[in-house]
Structures are given as C-alpha cells and as structure tokens.
Structure 1
C-alpha cells in the first residue's frame, strides 16, 4: 500500500499507530491505493453530528434541483431587488459560519431566480439574474463542501459553468475553475487541477481590481494544489505571486466572495508549509499571525484547524488542542464537521500519555470517540 500511495512505509506505519496525523493528501493517496472513495475513509458526511442539530433543511430540495439540471422548475419571482436581498443574506450566512441556514435558503432562491429568468423582459434583467444564479451556485458548492456532501459539488459546478457562460464577467468562470480544481485535488488529480488554475490566469489578462483579486485568489489555489502534489517550490512561487498582488491592499477583498488579501496570503503560506514543507514553521508562524478584522469566520476557523495539525506534527499536542479551541470559538459549525479536525483529535489522544478532561470534552462535543 505504501508503494501504491507513494508514501514511505514508515509514514504508513506511523499513521496506523497514531504517531502521525493522516493529512488530506495522505488520505487521498491511500484511498486511491485501496480503490475506495475518500468519503468512505473519512466517514463523511458525519450524519450523527448533523442530526444532533436537527433536520438538514434544504438538502433534498437542492438535490432535486441538481437532478432537474437544465429543466429546473421555476417559482414565481419576487422581483430583482428582493432576489438581490436574498442572495446577500445567503452570503452573510456563509461568512458567519451559518452554513445550515444558507443551505435552507438556497433551493427557494434558485427556483425564484429561474422564475425571474423566465420572466425577464430585457437583456439587462437577464444579465442580472444570471449573475445572481452564479453567486447562488457558488454558495451551494460551498455549503455542500462544508457539510460533507462533496459528491454533490460536481453537479453544482456543472450548473455554475452553465450560468457563467451567460454572463460577460469572466470572474464567475474563473471561480468555477478554481472550485473545480479543489474538487480535483481532493481526488488526487493535482496535474489537472493545476491546469485549470493556469486556464483561469489566461482568462484574466487585465489589471482591474476584480481581475487582480481573482488572479491572487488563483495563486492561492495553485499554491495549495501544488503543495498537495508535493511540489513545494511551485507552491512557494504561487505564494510569492499572491503576496505581490496583495501587498498594496489594506484589507481582505470580498469581491467574488474570495476573501483575498494580505491576511489570507499568510494563512495560505502557513498551509503550504504544513502540507509540503516545514510543519514546525507552519505552527510557529501560524500561531503568531494577526488575522485581520472582518475576515470570514470559516476562514479563521480553518486556519486554526491547520495550526492545530501543525502543532501536532511538531510534537506539541497541548498546543494543538489550544488551536482547536480557537477554531471552535471562531467557526463552531465548520470545526465540528471538518474531517481534519477529527484526525487531529485522534492524533492528540494518541500522543498524550493521559487523556485530559479538555480533550475528552472537545471529543464529546465533536462526536468522536478517543
């Protein structure tokens, strides 16, 4: 299995024995070696944790919409102003780590947008509706990914590609390419994922604010994909390019819901070191980061999840648990459902000679047995 996964035998043994945490890249490689889905190894979605918080409203309706494909049943539109307000509410929910709330709103919004498209009288109205459909499908992909239903994301991205083909703004097509590159990365297809990142750069030749933000966002995606493929120098090169684009910026940009900016660049720089470089450096520098105000809660939570894994890989399980507590405080919903958090908790339990009450309490909240 080590040979097929292209990891050392010592690494495979260390993960089996709980001495090393199973990184996302390792899990993808082992899934390929065993011929099983990544989701099967991770046990996602975590149905028990989801059920603890009540029925997952909107999931079945969203599945139905995706099966309908190009034949979505349209609902009566409430007007473009009302639809824009609904779209903004979905985005606010996602940024605030209220993913379940966003999912509950999305099916009705998508059907009403299709109703608005059916009733549109001018080309300008059509263009506005198509842009809102792009935003809705971007939000749907995000919700499915966070909740563990990654099997739905390919269908969502197909619908996003369709909507993006009807708008003049190439930014939505680039967002779709970058999101698909993340999906491909999770299946171990890093070469294809990097090719999609490169295609995104080709669509963005200009120097408008939106193009610069998307180009920077693309470099961050390229950095993580390259690191996952264990191409450290390429990953660091992408970080350098992103850092140069972000240097004149005073805050994180929410154009195209990218959260691109100086803070996010440094978060990704730590993630690159964690994935393919020096975990100790990732742990130290990640713990010292001053995250900018206004950054989306799930982005902050994800950083502390990575920082916890870096501390664990550096042999400091106590500091790893402290980082997980910070992730929980920033984005509890995302932290409870992210597979890497459970792997880190199992690693902390294996590293500690005696399990502490704080670890047992965290594991109980997570729904994990240690």
Structure 2
C-alpha cells in the first residue's frame, strides 16, 4: 500500500520558504516560534495550528489554501467534477427573463430543500452536486424576470430566493476547493440581498463574505466587513430574536478574524462578551442557515483554543459541548475533526483515530474533501503504533488517501 502523491503541509511550507529565499530563522522569528519548532513542522514532526498556518501564509505571501495543498478539482475531475459545471452556469446568468414561466413558490421550495440536503445529509456533496447546477440556472433566470412596473413584490421575492441560493453556493464552492467561485457567490449574494431590500439578508450576505475572506487569508478585510454589518444591525436588536441571532453570528466571524490575525484575547472577548449573550438571548436556532446558538458559540470557543495551540483548554471546552444540539451535520463533523486536531497537538494518537472515525460516521464525504482531515490521517499513518495502524490504513483507504 502506497500513499498518494499529496504533499505534507511541512514540505509545502519549506518549498515556498526556500522559493522566497527566507531562512528558517527569519520565518520563525516573524511567526513568533522557535527555529527548531519550524524545523520540526517542515520535517513533518509537528503540525502547525490553524492560526500559525495563517501567519506563515502572510509571511510567505501565499494563500493558506496553497500551504494546505487544496486539490485542483477542476483539473483532475476525480473528486468533484461539478465545479466546472457550476462555473459555466454562473457565467451564463440563467436564461432570458420569462416571468410567466417562473413559479416562485416552487423555486423557494427547491432552495430550502437544497439547504436541508447541505445541513442534514451525510451524502451532502454528492446529493448537492446533482441539484445545484440546475438550481443556479433557474434562480438566475427568476432574478432576471418580473421587471414590469407591477411586479415589484415578485421581483423582491426572486431576489430573496437568489440571495439564499448564493449563500448556499458560497459554502459548497468553498468546501470543494473553489474559493474563486465561493467569492463570486458571496458577492452576488450581497447584490441580491440589496435588490431584495432585506436588511436581515444583507447582514447574512456580509456574514457569508466574511467567511470567504477569512478562507482567502484576508482576516483584516473580513473583520471590516462584519464590523460594518454589526453596526448596521445594532438599531434592530429590539426587533426580535432573529436579529439578535444574526448579530451574534456576525460576532463569531469577528472572533475568528481576530484569532487569524494573532489576537486570541480579542477573539475570546468577542465570544464571551458579544456572541454568548446573544446566543443565550436568542437560543438555539438557524437564522439564515448560520446555525447560531449557544452550541455554536461553544464550538467557536473550542476552535479559538485549537488555533492558538491551547489543546488542554480546547478539550476542556469540548467536554461541555453536546454537539447533537446543532442542526447541522457539517458543524457536528467539524467538531469531531477539531477534537482530532486538539488530540493531535497532544500526540494522543488513539484519541485522534477515535475522533476521525466519529467524523467519518457524521460526514463521510467531508473527510474526502477536507484537506486538514486528510493531513490528520496522513500524520496518523506515519506515527501510528502497530495496534492502531490497521484502522488508520483502512480509514486512509476509504477516503482515497492511499491506494492498494
């Protein structure tokens, strides 16, 4: 059994460091770690935290996705060929406007059903790939319809449907490695939300944009995006729980933006002082598919500690989380992956394997597409004791990381 040709994070880090003609001492100093620690990362003996990985990306002037080695789905067409089809249909903007042929009620039902697939199905990538391209075409066609003077209500509803569909497309495109399509979808989601003149959706659109800006290593821009949206929502906080929940969801993005910029204390303060009170007030919910509530705040608190390398504190927070409270399988799967990462930081390989298997049960397709998950499995293959090695190899084979 041989490993696939995927390259470890450390090897990619060394490649780009040397290509930029930077010494280990220089990069380590800028990142705030020892030269020995950087050397261990480059040799595959240590795995960098997410926050540290973002520091390296900024120092070397590359995207985090480059260091992670996100697969070129467009080129090989093996893991997810739908990317090229989504790119094509987004560039066509749907067919010519034909309001009489558009059933907005039916279209709303299809978008909501697609969201249900994404948040609740274990085969969400495969099932989503079957419906997303056609849905994009029909939603974009609807958005170009209803332009007569007496069709303002229908036009706004078509825009609301479009904004919701673009929110979904943003997260799907990001997960299959197409951050360019994800950014395009986020931008169109903002335009659709403003077309609908819907303040809640406008806030959600900025929440979406903030997420993809963070994914593109633009945490400072993400912080600016969500902080503006937070200020715009502030006058509406007495209007109901959904406004409070959207306000809290934006603070979660702001917290992630802080820790990605190396400011863990601001991230913690934003979680405790802003997001948590909003979650306690609004309760568990899923406003605009943000899955915001006390459980998601706790998940973000755990993630912040993981990104800082504070594994003991992260595991302590994890012990208090009942992830089954989350309505999203994606969040549940992410919880198990982050537990695996926390235990990987402590070199507890038995726990790493246990939580990777939990993640596989929760979201089997996520392990195939999630680069960090694949790196966790790869590291486990390298280190695993004989008692764990057979299970680690079997998992690696199931997610396509090794071939017989």
TM-score by length of 1: 0.89
Structure index of larger Rg: 2
Partner residue of 2:337? 305
Verify the 8 A CA contact 2:111 2:164 in the aligned structure 1: yes
Which residue, out of 356, 359, 368, partners 2:392? 359
Measure, in 1, the Cα distance between the counterparts of 2:384 and 2:218. 35
Verify the 8 A CA contact 1:44 1:149 in the aligned structure 2: no
Measure, in 2, the Cα distance between the counterparts of 1:110 and 1:203. 29
Partner residue of 1:134? 163
Verify the 8 A CA contact 1:61 1:107 in the aligned structure 2: yes
Measure, in 2, the Cα distance between the counterparts of 1:368 and 1:24. 21
Verify the 8 A CA contact 1:259 1:295 in the aligned structure 2: yes
In structure 2, runs of 5+ residues without a counterpart are 1-21
Which residue, out of 354, 358, 363, partners 1:331? 363
Structure 1 residue 23 corresponds to structure 2 residue 49: yes
Structure 1 residue 192 corresponds to structure 2 residue 221: yes
- Farther-moved stretch of structure 1 (111-120 vs 269-278): 111-120
Verify the 8 A CA contact 2:119 2:329 in the aligned structure 1: yes
What is the CA deviation profile of residues 116-151 of structure 1, one whole-angstrom value per residue up to 9, with x for unaligned ones?
A: 344425211111110000001011111111112222
Would the alpha carbon gap of residues 273 and 365 (structure 1) be closer, same or farther in structure 2, given more than 3 Å must change?
same
- Farther-moved stretch of structure 1 (151-160 vs 4-13): 4-13
| Cα RMSD for the two superposed structures | 2.5
Verify the 8 A CA contact 1:23 1:340 in the aligned structure 2: no
Structure 1 residue 149 corresponds to structure 2 residue 178: yes
Would the alpha carbon gap of residues 188 and 88 (structure 1) be closer, same or farther in structure 2, given more than 3 Å must change?
closer
What is the CA deviation profile of residues 24-74 of structure 1, one whole-angstrom value per residue up to 9, with x for unaligned ones?
A: 3333333444444433333323649x9667x634x3332123334xx5434
Structure 1 residue 89 corresponds to structure 2 residue 89: no
Q: Secondary structure at the match of 2:159?
A: helix
Verify the 8 A CA contact 1:103 1:140 in the aligned structure 2: no
Which residue, out of 33, 40, 45, partners 1:14? 40
Partner residue of 2:95? 73
Would the alpha carbon gap of residues 73 and 60 (structure 1) be closer, same or farther in structure 2, given more than 3 Å must change?
farther
In structure 1, runs of 5+ residues without a counterpart are none
Which residue, out of 353, 365, 376, partners 1:344? 376
